[in-house]
């Protein structure tokens, strides 16, 4: 039994699946966090703040020095316009129409806290979208249903069919949890992976 308690401050199936790859025991706890962007808040600052607030909201519930909490968030930035989760088909269509032929940066924020110690980063991923016709957008949305994904884009499924390229130092960041950075942070906090 480990001498720590690891908590993922998220109910995301995608983040859970990613963290499962590290083969370490963890729990999932829903954070209490208002995800509304502040007026004029750039995407990179928004994801850093939300990752921190998610982790700290769960950390405050435990307040045990051996508890390690992971918070993460992701948004897309299209020329300064923040694209979050669409939730509806209509919004997803609008988002993909705006992404067609454009390059967008997905920012994934990560915040890990243990007691008074914390680590944080924001990992950018640049994605260039193909020119998308209305029928292509409809087929993609019906097949992938990315309504809970930032900018209506699910890279781990059919998303690769609608883009020209994806560039990142950590490919898992685009799915929602940058495992390369996370593994390093956990090691620094005394949790061995693997």
The values of phi and psi at residue 92, to 5°, are: -60, -40
Q: Quick check: bond before 93 cis, omega within 30?
A: no
| Tally of CB atoms within 10 A around 64 | 12
| Cα end-to-end distance, the chain, whole Å | 15
The question of whether 73 is a catalytic residue gets the answer yes
Q: Which of 37, 63, 68 is nearest to 50 (CA)?
A: 37
Helix axes 179-188, 13-20, angle to 10 degrees: 60
Beta bridge partners of 72: 110
Please identify which of the residues 3, 25, 65, 73 carries the catalytic annotation. Answer: 73
Show which residues are catalytic: 73
């Amino acid at each position: 039994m480990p001498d720590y308690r690891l908590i993922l401050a998220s109910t995301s199936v995608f983040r859970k699946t990613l963290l499962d790859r590290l083969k370490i025991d963890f729990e999932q706890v829903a954070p209490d966090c208002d995800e509304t962007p502040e007026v004029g808040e750039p995407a990179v600052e928004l994801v850093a703040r939300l990752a921190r607030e998610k982790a700290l909201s769960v950390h405050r519930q435990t307040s045990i020095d051996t508890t390690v909490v992971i918070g993460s968030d992701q948004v897309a930035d299209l020329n300064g316009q923040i694209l979050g989760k669409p939730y509806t088909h209509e919004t997803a269509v609008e988002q993909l129409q705006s992404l067609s032929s454009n390059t967008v940066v997905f920012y994934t924020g990560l915040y890990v806290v243990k007691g008074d110690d914390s680590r944080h980063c924001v990992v950018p991923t640049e994605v260039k979208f193909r020119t998308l016709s209305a029928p292509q957008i409809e087929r993609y949305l019906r097949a992938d249903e990315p309504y809970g994904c930032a900018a209506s884009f699910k890279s781990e499924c059919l998303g690769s069919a609608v883009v020209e390229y994806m560039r990142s130092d950590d490919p898992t960041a685009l799915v929602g949890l940058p495992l390369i950075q996370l593994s390093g942070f956990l090691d620094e906090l005394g949790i061995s992976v693997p």
